[in-house]
Amino acid sequence: MLVKLGGFKMTMTIVGYDPRTGQFGGAVATKNPAVGTRVLRGMGEVGMVGFSSVETQRRRGIAMLQLGFPAPVVLEALIKVSEGAGQYSLIDRNGTPAAYSSPSLAPWNGSRTGLNFACGANTMVGKAVVEALGDTFEATEDSGLPLEERLLMCLEAAQATGGDNRGRQAAAIQVHWKRIDANAYLDIRVDDHPNPIPELRASMRNYRQAYPVYSSATWPELQGTGGFPILHPGAW
């Protein structure tokens, strides 16, 4: 069955894998409200997707990753079923990335993959947006920073180049622990704000202060628990 894509197609998105912790995560920003509900989907020990397309494509992508298909194979299937429409950034359980941007998307649009990440953007001021996403993720690979911090830094760097050519409105970050669970341990969204990325940073800071046991910054204390905070002897 072919899927005719429509609706939400304007984002800058990055998905990434942290081999140090086994976490998957993604970040997105756009000049449209509530982007966090429309783009990011993930699952521990499975992978992460960031799609500017219909919900059925995001579900199809995660389902194929869960069955063990590698990211490039999943991407090929998604492109085929959508007749080449949409934009896809995904990463599988082994950290293998894949990305695609339809030529029909509003300029500037394009994608990039690298070690443990995939990213894409459309309706942007230029190629520098995607380059900033990828360059920042690569530059922080051995930093020891939490995955969510790295992803947020990617958004900040991309926005500094100009970002969405229509302006700013929403941003989101989602991260999954290394365990099979569709529920993200961190899922922070700014749905409607004139400066969503700085607001996202403020919200993440508040989250860490309110729920320190769930912050990946505490990862060294969780070694041997599978990254599952509730099993950590001192968690409660």
Region 55-63: mean pLDDT is 85
Domain chopping of the chain, boundaries? 12-231
Class of domain 12-231: alpha beta
For the chain, give the percent of residues with pLDDT over 90.
59
User: Which residues are registered as beta bridge partners of 23?
Assistant: 18
pLDDT in tens, 88-135: 999 999 999 999 999 988 889 999 999 999 999 998 888 999 999 999
pTM: 0.86
Type of residue found at 179 = R
Report whether pLDDT(160) > 60.
yes
Phi, psi for residue 188 in degrees, rounded to 5: -115, 130
Instruction: With residue 26 as reference, give the H or E element that holds it.
Output: strand 23-30
Exposed, middle or buried, 14 (CB in 10 Å: 0-12/13-18/19+)?
Answer: buried
Region 66-87: mean pLDDT is 93
Distances (CA, A) of 234 to 6, 179, 230: 48, 20, 9
- Token digits for 180? 């099979």
Q: Coil, helix or strand for 204? A: helix
Amino acid 215: pLDDT: 57
Write the DSSP string, 59-127.
Answer: HHHHHHHHTT--HHHHHHHHHHHTTT-SEEEEEETT--EEEEE-TTSPSS-EEEEETTEEEEE-SBS-T
Q: Distance between CA 104 and CA 85 in Å, rounded?
A: 7
User: Which residues are registered as beta bridge partners of 75?
Assistant: none
How far from the centroid of its chain's Cα atoms is residue 4's Cα? Answer: 23
CB atoms within 10 A of CB 83: 12
Pick from 18-27, 34-43, 50-59, 140-149: least confident:
50-59
